[in-house]
Structure 1
Amino acid sequence: MTKTVVITGANRGIGFELVKCYLANGDWQIIAACRTPQKATALNDLADATDGDIEVVQLDVSSAQSVEAFSKAIGDRPIDILVNNAGVIGGEHQSLGDIDYDEWMETLSINTLGPIRVTEALIENIRKSKNGKIVAISSQLGAMQYQTQGRFAYNSSKAALNRTMTLLANQLRAENIAVAMYHPGWVQTDMGGQAADITPPQSASGLYQCFEKLSLADSGKFFKWNGEPHAW
């Protein structure tokens, strides 16, 4: 039986590699969401090479209108897993004495509010699944236990994301919908840089396996890309 996955930020980096993981692993209908589909050359090429397994759909998670249009494009079909992956690093002005507050608000809108906007829009679709799951790509930089400096906008947005997702987990537990957050590792992407520890395919492969194993027993928890628990 074909299952459906929605992946936001699917045009590059970890999101694009997750699309490839789901394509390679069984009967999945993949709804690949990105802000500017006309520029997503690699994603469009991959979709064109499949027999309709990948749908590329426009989505700006910071826009209520875009999220509403995205929901209408999906219709009433069941969604088995929502992967909230879309995110931004938040600009260059994130240190004490050099803070761009407009950029900070935009970062929060995308990284924190975005996953909730999308979840709210698709919750009825997720409820139609027999084993619905909602996951968010977070970061260890959002963990209070992780000592770092700077990046006020990015770090705070991921900390807030983690908290909102735990609230979501508590609310949806009785409906048998599992919710979890994942640190994808330090990944060689536009955000992580080329000096990072692991490649996007390595991260995505580990995350895919984690998502498959996710159950209600782990709902509300924070994990690393390899399945290890992450300290808060």
Structure 2
Amino acid sequence: MQKNALITGANRGVGLALVKAYLSAGWRVFACCRHIADAAELRQLQANNTSLTLHQLDVTDYQAVTALSQEMADVTLDLLINNAGYYGPKGYGFGNTDIDEWRKVLEINTIAPLKLAEAFYPQLLANQPGTIANLSSKVGSMTENTSGGGYIYRSSKAALNSVAKSLSNDLSPQGIISVALHPGWVQTEMGGPNAKITASESAQGLKAVIDCLTLERSGGFYNYDGSVIPW
């Protein structure tokens, strides 16, 4: 039986690579992005693959999130990947934090993933309970923070880790797994050209980690290579 995955932020980078990885593995993929018209590679993929469905979605438009869930009411989801993210400003220091940008980053990186989990809870619960994979970052780890700075992005990912853990505590009794995942330092628009791995390498690693998840591993924070990241 074909498995189903919903992936946000699917138009480029790790999100697009995840779409390709799951399609290659025989999954049916529901790919979400803000502007389908600008997602040429994603549209080309759809043209050649009947297992790919595209949905235009701003993850912070919660009415649209609810509407999409209602549209997909008959779909049983094996996997929700909360991949859509926003870094915010770079290069600022203490004393120069842009409050409006901070709110925007928190909205996209922390609040939206929880609202998506709430909206698609029925689909994740249906038939065989599914998995919520939240794309976090190692910079959200308190233990790993030895350099300071990065207040906006760090705090959004630390908060997302808390969301992932609470989701695990609340939903594990119903068989739903929730984890936080670090994709690695990836050669994307966000990661920059000096990053160590490609989006494809990250996606393949993340998929391997997700494939091996069990209820016992729910609530964890894992690197794309499967290693545990300290909180």
* Shift in Å, 1:137: 0.6
What amino acid sits opposite 1:65 in the alignment?
Q
Separation of aligned partners in 2, 1:18 and 1:188: 14
* Residue 102 of structure 2: aligned partner: 104
For 2:34 and 2:117, how far apart are their aligned partners in 1? 17
Deviation at 1:94, TM superposition (A): 4.7
Specify the SS of the correspondent of 1:125. Answer: helix
In the other structure, the counterpart of 2:11 is 11
Between the two proteins, what is the percent identity of the paired residues? 41
Residue 159 of structure 1: aligned partner: 158
1:53-92 superposed matches below 5 A: 53-92=51-90
Counterparts of 1:8 and 1:42, CA distance in 2:
15
Amino acid at match of 1:154: Y
Q: Deviations over 1:136-184 (max 9, x none)?
A: 0100000001123322111100000000110110001110111111111
CA–CA separation in structure 2 for the residues paired with 1:214 and 1:35: 29
2:129 and 2:174 in contact (8 A); partners too: no
1:138 aligns with 2:136: yes
Aligned-pair RMSD on alpha carbons? 1.1
Residues in 2 aligned to 1:144 and 1:70: alpha-carbon distance in whole angstroms: 35
Classify the secondary structure of the residue corresponding to 2:142: coil
1:35 is aligned to 2:34: yes
Q: How many angstroms does 1:216 deviate by?
A: 0.2
CA distance in 2, matches of 1:42, 1:149: 37
Equivalent-residue separation in structure 1 for 2:6 and 2:187 (angstroms): 23
- How far off its partner does 1:95 sit? 2.6
The 1:164–1:94 alpha-carbon spacing in structure 2 relative to 1, beyond 3 Å, is farther
Question: Who is 1:228 aligned against?
Answer: 227
Q: CA deviation at 1:93?
A: 6.8
Question: Which runs of 5 or more residues in structure 1 are unaligned?
Answer: none
Q: Secondary structure at the match of 1:169?
A: helix
Cα 1:72–1:38 shift into 2, 3 Å: farther
Match for residue 181 of structure 1? 180
Equivalent residue for 1:20? 20
Aligned length: 230
Point out where structure 2 has 5 or more consecutive residues left out of the alignment: none
After superposition, residues 108-127 of structure 1 pair within 5 angstroms as 108-127=106-125
Q: 2:65, 2:92 → 1: CA distance?
A: 28
Q: Distance in 2 between matches of 1:225 and 1:63?
A: 29
**By how many angstroms is 1:91 displaced?**
2.2
SS in 2 for 1:99: coil
Please report how far the alpha carbon of residue 64 of structure 1 lies from its aligned counterpart in structure 2 after TM superposition.
Answer: 1.2
- Contact kept in structure 1, 2:102 and 2:152, CA below 8 Å: yes
- Helix, strand or coil at the partner of 2:4: strand
Give the letter aligned to residue 115 of structure 1: P
> Is the 8 Å Cα contact of residues 141 and 148 (structure 1) preserved in structure 2?
no
